[in-house]
Structure 1
Amino acid sequence: MKAIAYQKFGNTDVLQTVEETKPAIRSNEVLVKVKAVSINPMDWKIRKGEMKLMSGSRFPRHTGVDFAGVIEDTGVAVTNFKKGDEVFGVVKNTMKDGALADYVAVPGTLIWKKPTAITFAEAAAIPIAGAAATTALQKMGKINPGTSILINGATGGFGMFLLQLLKDRKAVVTAVTGTKGIDYAKQWGADIVLDYTKADVLTQNATYDIVIDLSGKMGYSKAKRIMNRKALFLNPTPKPVQIPASFLNNLFTNKKHVVILSAASTPHINLLTSAIGNGLQVEVSRRFPFDKVVEAYQYAEKGGVTGKVVIELD
């Protein structure tokens, strides 16, 4: 089968198309014929060696974490899925495994039935970004009518889900995005939209109860300027050193720095699929074929992507 692998840390030029043996499945696993794989920032952070403390440094390595496809085979212990089921899910080890291949073997606990109303590409876009958004929602705690929330970098995959999940919470949500994301931010539920190419959110004389930095460019030190007393700063893109540092710093300030670490699980997916049934939109702004994987990552890594980028397989 075809797969994408790399033999050293680096930029997109290290990605190679290779021939590998179709994976064998264990009793608790399923074999999925992959139809689509979503691109996430963690893909290139791992590939560039930025997360080697967690991912390790053994090669060859594979890429792509969340996927959608059709079940080809099931292990004897898997009773809730059968051959031919359309599913979506995540690889077992998000730091080391990869879904960008013709077939992927994963535990039956890490896949879910694809909603019939969405495409394989849309389903592949859900698990990682969607689970991060639901985790962020939980970390926000009680949201009262009028709670002021700032989402910086609001119209990527994470922001797409978070904005829509916040819609019914009656918070006052300010979204910071680029010019091409303005209409999407409004459509997904933002009350106020700032175009970062024309205005600096740090100089708007507004303060917030919750600030979440999805762009990774603001940081806690800058965010403190626009945080109310007892406000939360949610950080979904922490550097390894920031994880323990945030706990220590929080002992001495009422403006809390909260690190978000998430993993796709059934409660997250159930919430998201229920929301999809009630109208939540999954925007796949660009689709690339398998033979354009390098171009797909180059496009995604430039930033400014609205919604998600997905690679489709035959």
Structure 2
Amino acid sequence: MRFRLPRSATTRNGSVVAEREAVAAPPEHMRAVVFDAPGAPDALRTETVAVPSRVMDEVLVRVVAAGVNPIDAKTRAGRGVSRGIGAYPAVPGFDFSGIVVASPFEAHPLPPGTPVYGMAAVPRTSGSYAEYVVAPSSALATKPQSLSHVEAAAVPLAALAAWQLVVETALAHEGQRILIHAGSGGVGHFAVQFAAYFGAHVTATCSAANAPWLRELGAQVVIDYTTTRFEDVVSDVDVVIDLVGDAHAQTGPRSLRVLRPGGLLVVVPTGVWPAYAEAAATAGVRATAFTVTPDGTALGTIARLLDSGAIQVYVEKVFELDDAATAHRQLEEGHTRGKLVLRVSDG
């Protein structure tokens, strides 16, 4: 049974709620992907575990789909946020889209039956590679109406990272020159779109196969990193958003050479270039690391941009929950366009 809300109903972040679904009480147990210790992708297995219990401001969500992110693979391998895992087996996964099952109180802005998307508080709680997940209500927003749950699950972490990099850190504006490394990846394809939306002149690096697509997304200049060294064709850039780091072909140090004096380098991958701050100071530019912050209000804004068609999400491939290890193997090959997603249950 379905029932509709008044046409004018909105959530706390301003997203319009089109309809809510009738929900059943959650079971005691659920299927989830777990790993017993850090390891290779084959460490991931499907197990029956207890459904998590919500407390305080948390919302319990029935997961329809879960996004797959590099931080998931790094955590599984013993890096990422693995140091915060309190006990094994652990359930990975930040991104999800699904249906609210239980809210903090009756008049909460995200009541049971609401389609939502957002980020789990991994590793403080179990992750989204599961049939149910709990998350702080402040990390959720109403799902974009124009997207399926599979598409919506690909958005939260990557789009929030891109928004916070481009809008809140780089302060993108008309005429600004921004260079985005790995522009065709999960964060990159959103960063290109946000920078172009706010009027910046966008240069992006990627492989030749993805160049036409990035131009469609708004990049004015696209550089094939396999044939051209970006520092040979780019200079006087205001901001470099480095989604590669120093782990590949010294992308970080080479980026310092293309920034204008006082320009900003944002280093996103963690732990791959410990000396970035000193190197930037020597080069006469600014530099900062970056960590994405869950933000339901920003997700509400992003939902409206998605529903308006101003930006889009690209899902390269969808895997079943039991195939999480295969998804991690493909992710670690490093050539994914956009995002990979796990289908967890029926929407």
What one-letter code is carried by the residue in structure 2 that aligns with 1:287?
A: V
Confirm or deny: 8 A CA contact 1:152 1:176 kept in the other structure.
yes
The answer for the alignment partner of 1:293 in structure 2 is 324
RMSD: 2.3
Q: Are residues 1:275 and 2:305 paired?
A: yes
SS in 2 for 1:37: strand
Deviations 1:230-280 (A, max 9, x none): 1211111131883xx555666555211121222120332133122213311
Q: Residue 256 and residue 149 in structure 1: after superposition, are their counterparts in 2 closer, same or farther (change >3 A)?
A: same
Aligned partners of 2:257 and 2:281: how far apart in 1? 19
SS in 1 for 2:74: helix
**Equivalent position to 1:188, from 196, 207, 217:** 217
The answer for the alignment partner of 2:128 in structure 1 is 99
Q: Are residues 1:30 and 2:59 paired?
A: yes
Q: Residue 290 and residue 233 in structure 1: after superposition, are their counterparts in 2 closer, same or farther (change >3 A)?
A: same
Question: 1:75-94 to 2 correspondence within 5 Å?
Answer: 75-76=104-105, 79-94=108-123
Confirm or deny: 8 A CA contact 1:220 1:257 kept in the other structure.
no
**Equivalent position to 1:221, from 253, 263, 266:** 253
Confirm or deny: 8 A CA contact 1:174 1:192 kept in the other structure.
yes
How much does 1:142 deviate? 5.7
What one-letter code is carried by the residue in structure 2 that aligns with 1:225?
A: R
Deviations 1:39-83 (A, max 9, x none): 111111111112367535742221111101112233436611222
Confirm or deny: 8 A CA contact 1:131 1:268 kept in the other structure.
yes
Aligned partners of 1:234 and 1:97: how far apart in 2? 30
Aligned partners of 2:59 and 2:144: how far apart in 1? 19
Structure 1 residues not aligned, in runs of 5+: none
How much does 1:109 deviate? 2.4
Confirm or deny: 8 A CA contact 1:78 1:108 kept in the other structure.
no
The answer for the alignment partner of 2:141 in structure 1 is 112
SS in 2 for 1:261: coil
The answer for the alignment partner of 2:24 in structure 1 is none
The answer for the alignment partner of 1:312 in structure 2 is 343
How much does 1:209 deviate? 2.0
The answer for the alignment partner of 2:171 in structure 1 is 141
TM-score, scaled to structure 2 = 0.82
Confirm or deny: 8 A CA contact 1:25 1:31 kept in the other structure.
yes
Q: Are residues 1:258 and 2:263 paired?
A: no
Confirm or deny: 8 A CA contact 2:34 2:90 kept in the other structure.
yes
How much does 1:110 deviate? 2.3
Question: 1:47-86 to 2 correspondence within 5 Å?
Answer: 47-51=76-80, 54-56=83-85, 58-76=87-105, 79-86=108-115
Aligned partners of 1:253 and 1:206: how far apart in 2? 14
Confirm or deny: 8 A CA contact 1:28 1:77 kept in the other structure.
no
**Higher helix residue share:** 1
Q: Residue 97 and residue 241 in structure 1: after superposition, are their counterparts in 2 closer, same or farther (change >3 A)?
A: farther
Q: Residue 36 and residue 52 in structure 1: after superposition, are their counterparts in 2 closer, same or farther (change >3 A)?
A: closer
Q: Residue 219 and residue 240 in structure 1: after superposition, are their counterparts in 2 closer, same or farther (change >3 A)?
A: closer
Confirm or deny: 8 A CA contact 1:36 1:69 kept in the other structure.
yes
Aligned partners of 1:28 and 1:226: how far apart in 2? 45
TM-score, scaled to structure 1 = 0.90
The answer for the alignment partner of 1:233 in structure 2 is 265
Aligned partners of 2:126 and 2:48: how far apart in 1? 16
Q: Residue 140 and residue 2 in structure 1: after superposition, are their counterparts in 2 closer, same or farther (change >3 A)?
A: same
Deviations 1:128-149 (A, max 9, x none): 111111111121136341x322
Q: Are residues 1:9 and 2:35 paired?
A: no
Aligned partners of 2:154 and 2:41: how far apart in 1? 21
Structure 2 residues not aligned, in runs of 5+: 1-29
SS in 1 for 2:300: helix
Q: Residue 161 and residue 95 in structure 1: after superposition, are their counterparts in 2 closer, same or farther (change >3 A)?
A: farther
